[in-house]
Every structure is written in structure tokens, then in C-alpha cells.
Structure 1
């Protein structure tokens, strides 16, 4: 057997074995949060996601947050907003990885734009702990940390992020080096998930970096001098199997997170996210342990890179 063929066979068998042993067809849904010990032993250590139905339903934010509330309380507050012509920020388009245009505007101006379906696509998505740094006024409506996650992981979250946008905003498939607790406050999010063990079937390429810019009413794409960005090539919501036939072998898991629900998304899981109009969410990023799971995935990633994937 040719060496590359032997490597491919090993990768496929590894993915199949993971599916047989611990990766289910659906994301488990719990009625109450786990204890810290349960969370670490059954979910973090095993790198498996779950949803707690109504896990944040008692947060004041779930009752209070709305466009009307934000207009009345924080309409004049200045925010950093991602703007694109198509709702695909931080995504591959026409052979480039394109960043959004970042604009400063008031909450009131953002809400006006978000509600206008004829406008460009506006999305609050800054991932720099924008809730704690830019919107500390909203913190009393949520929690500063997820207590059982903080206890299990032995640290407070590295970042707490606020997300708000329309159904036109879509997050392209990627992975993060964080244990992610994702809470939907209003609306619903649809996640398409893949375990890290599906890496052999998920095509990657390196793309030149660029950014959307709008000048005098016209959108352009401006190239940025930078090292190429490695990114997932396939769109799992609309896969081009003729271009990426290996993706047919991947195990796609879908998961809907509704208002008041809490999703635990393990580190290194691939995820693509869409949402309903006016969806608001808060997520807590806890730094992952760079342990044997990380080392295994790095090896898996490099082997696939050698095979041109």
C-alpha cells in the first residue's frame, strides 16, 4: 500500500472509531446544568458538547433585552460594529479571506440598520470581551462567569462576548482554542458541528487576507499585506460536493439553541452558525488545556496538510 494511502486509511479508521465510541448523532440536551465534577469528567475530558435547556432562562437579560430596551437605556452608547455587503464576515469569498469593515456607531443607529433589510449587514461580533470592556452596563443582566465551568476549569473566562444581529449574518465554519459556553438570550442559533476527528474530511486552504471597505456608496475588497490565512474551504450549509467530495464522509451534527438555552461547545470543534432575526447571545471563552487532545489534533492537522487537505 502506498504510504499516503496507508495514512489516509488510518485517518479514516480513526474517525470511524471515534464515532462508534463517543460521538453521537445528536447533541445531548440536559434539563439542568452539570456539577463542576460532572462537567469536567463527562464533557470536557471527553470533548463532547451538550445543551442545557433553559440553563439561563432566569437571567434578567432573557426578560429585559430587546431593541426597545436597548434604545431606551443605551441608545446613545457608541459601539464597534462589523459591516459587510453580504453578512459573511471573517469568511472566504472569491478566493480571499475577507474581514468586515469596522464602524463606530450608536446603539440606536445600529438597531436602525439591523432592522432595515435593504441595508448592508450590520453585526455586533467583536470578540475582545466586548461585553466586559465595551458594555459593562449590561453585566448585571447576565453573569460574569459560569460558576460550574469556572470551578471545573480552575480559571475565570478569558473573554465574555456580546453578539447581536439579523438572520443575514452567518458565521463561517471554523474552530476555536477555547472551551466555549454559548448562551442565547433572544432568538435562536443553528449550529452545524463537526468533531475534531472529522478533520480528514474537512478541506482547508490558505487564503490571502483582505477587508471589505465602502467608499462613496460602493463596496470594494482591499488586499491586506499579511501571511495567508488557513481556513475551512467548504460551506457546510451549502457544500459543493463536486469540488470537495471528501466532505461527504464527514459527520454533520446540527443543534438549535433557543432563547434561555446554554450550549457547551468543546475546544477544537468545527462550527458554522446561523441565526434568526434579532438574535442576541453572550458567550464565555475559557482557555483550553494544551494537553494530549491538543497535541493529537495538531498531529491530525499536519498529516492532513501533508495530504493536501
Structure 2
């Protein structure tokens, strides 16, 4: 894959962010934007264990999607204290995904502020994400096509991004928000997934206190190099086409997919995965020059 390093800045003004990254819809890592937050010095595994240890948290791993599973249905549950001990003691595929701290641990909101990057943030949707060493998310984009600010705390995380314009090369599963689940984006097999060689995207590694801006609808793959956690804040898409696509995803695509899972069962999931390969390879064949013998 053709992956550029995501640009990095120490600090950024609202004007610089809007003109240089939001308007052209380009990602950026801001290295120093949360040093004045209490979370910068307080947020680590032990602190989360202290303030949320008794909370039951939803856990996800990298098993393939099954027809009987609902949208974002967790694969397991345990107390936060037990999960953090698991993260510290051994590698685990279990991750916490989209954990709303506004609902679960309201006092955590005293530890951070909503930064003014020139976008109106959704203040009821601060989400936490945790993962163990080598755990990862499938390559996906968010259902609402939001602008995302991803703040990382503790550990190190690899992030690979693609704009929507690269969807044709990514083996997207139809009627879903993911690419084919067999792809290892940190070490792709180009013989099995040849179209990935044409995919043009971005890569970076996040450390404590750094924030990654992901533009509207960007595909993203996250891999935890070491145990850690992040928080995402999000803003509505400003592009009318992206806003409309977000509404379609929520109210039409998800509803249709859930219905087909109930009607056709695992055959529906298998067909979608087959189509992800067939459509992408067909597109690749159509754009590959034929050499004269």
C-alpha cells in the first residue's frame, strides 16, 4: 500500500486547522493540545480502574461477523477492573469499543474540555476505546460520517487511514461499514488482495496526549502496539453528501442489513464477503492495462 505519514504539528490555531486540514479534508496529528487537561496527567489504566472498576464493560475481539449478532453486539462482558488486570497481565484480543463515558462515568467529564477547532462537537458522545497488545479493529468508517478527534492515552497505537475515494481498492463488504475481515492491514498479503497495492492512504503512531483528526467518513484501522486507550470526540459532517450518506447508513443500510441477516442467516454474510472480493477484483481487472504478447 502507498501510505504517507500523517502530517504532525505541535500546536495549531483554529484558523490553521480549518484552512489546512478541515477544508481540504486531510488528517493531522496534533501533538500538544491537551496538556492543560487534568486527563493528561491523571488518565492511565490504574486511574480508570479506580473510577470505573465496578462498571460492566462490553468487549469485542477480531472474530468474523456472524448473522446472529446484532449491530455492534459485544462478544463478552466483564468488570472494568478485571479487564484492566487482563490488559496488564497478558496479550488479549478483547477491546472496549464505543463506551460512552457521559452515561457510564459522568465524573470523567471533569477531566477534559471540548477543544475549539472550529467545529461544533457532539457533547453527549465522548467515547472511550481500550485494547490489549496486538488487538485491532477491522478497517471501517463510522456510520454517521463524522469528523473525528481521537485523543490517545497510555501505550502506543498504529493508525492507518484511507479517504472514501479509495473505497474501490479496499474490498468493501456491501451493505456494511467494513472491509473484508481477513485482511491484515498492518501486513497485507498482496497476492491474495492485489487491489490493495493501488490503495493510497496514511499511517501514524499515536502516543500519550496526542490527537488524530480523521476527516468525514475516513476509513480507519487501529492496532494497539501496547495496551492503551483513547477517547473520540466527533462533529457532524459538513459536506451535505456525507451528511445524507450518514442518514442513509443509520436509517436504511443498517435496517436492511439486519433484516437480511434474519431472513437469509449466514448465507447473507457469506454472500457479502464474496461480493467484496468479486467486485473489487472486477474493478481491478477493468483498470489494469492489457500488455501485448
Please say whether Structure 1 and Structure 2 have the same fold, judged by a TM-score greater than 0.5.
yes
Over aligned residues, Cα RMSD in angstroms? Answer: 3.2
Find out whether 1:58 has 2:7 as its counterpart: no
TM-score by length of structure 1 reads 0.68
Residue 82 of structure 1, aligned match among 52, 56, 59: 59
Looking at structure 2, the residues matched to 283 and 205 of structure 1 have their Cα atoms a distance apart, in angstroms, of 25
Name the counterpart of 1:209: none
- After alignment, is 163-172 or 45-54 more displaced? 163-172
The structure 2 residue matched to 1:241, chosen from 187, 190, 207, is 190
User: Structure 1 residue 157: deviation in Å?
Assistant: 4.3
Kindly report which structure 2 residues correspond to 1:249-288, keeping only aligned pairs within 5 A, or say none: 249-288=198-237
The runs of 5 or more residues in structure 2 that have no matched partner are 247-274, 281-293
Distance 1:72 1:174, change over 3 A: closer
Tell me, in whole angstroms, the C-alpha distance in 1 between the residues paired with 2:4 and 2:11: 21
2:33 is paired with a residue whose SS is coil
Give the equivalent residue in structure 1 for 2:98.
126
Deviation at 1:92, TM superposition (A): 5.4
Q: Which residue of 2 aligns with 1:165?
A: 131
User: Distance in 2 between the 1:156 and 1:230 partners?
Assistant: 21
Over 3 Å counting, the alpha-carbon distance change for 1:249 and 1:295 in structure 2 is farther
How far apart, in 1, do the equivalents of 2:193 and 2:237 lie?
Answer: 30
Higher mean C-alpha deviation, range 25-34 or range 234-243: 234-243
Alignment check: 8 A CA contact 2:52 2:105 kept: no
2:62–2:137 CA contact under 8 A, matched in 1? yes
The answer on 1:41 being equivalent to 2:22 is: no
- The residue aligned with 2:107 is 137
Give 1 or 2: higher strand fraction.
Answer: 1
Paired residue for 1:231, among 159, 164, 178? Answer: 178
What are the superposed Cα offsets for residues 1-25 of structure 1, whole Å, 9 maximum, x if unpaired?
A: xxxxxxxxxxxxxxxxxx9xxxx93
- What CA distance in whole angstroms lies between the structure 2 residues aligned with 1:294 and 1:126? 21
Distance 1:121 1:33 in 2: 35
The runs of at least 4 consecutive aligned structure 1 residues that moved more than 4 Å come to 96-99, 292-297
The Cα of 1:27 is off from its aligned counterpart by 1.4
The 8 Å contact of residues 5 and 202 in structure 2, kept in 1 or not, is answered as yes
Q: Which runs of no fewer than 5 residues in structure 1 stay unpaired? A: 1-18, 207-227, 298-303
Partner deviation per Cα, 1:145-164 (whole Å, 9 max, x = no partner): 2222xxx2345446210122
SS of residue in 1 equivalent to 2:138: strand
Q: Tell me the matched-pair count.
A: 244
Q: CA deviation at 1:265?
A: 0.7
Secondary structure at the counterpart of residue 5 of structure 2 = coil
Change (3 A) 1:109 1:279: same
Q: Is the contact made by 1:51 and 1:262 (CA closer than 8 Å) also made in structure 2?
A: yes
Distance 1:168 1:155 in 2: 30
- The 2-side partners of 1:73 and 1:100 are apart by 22
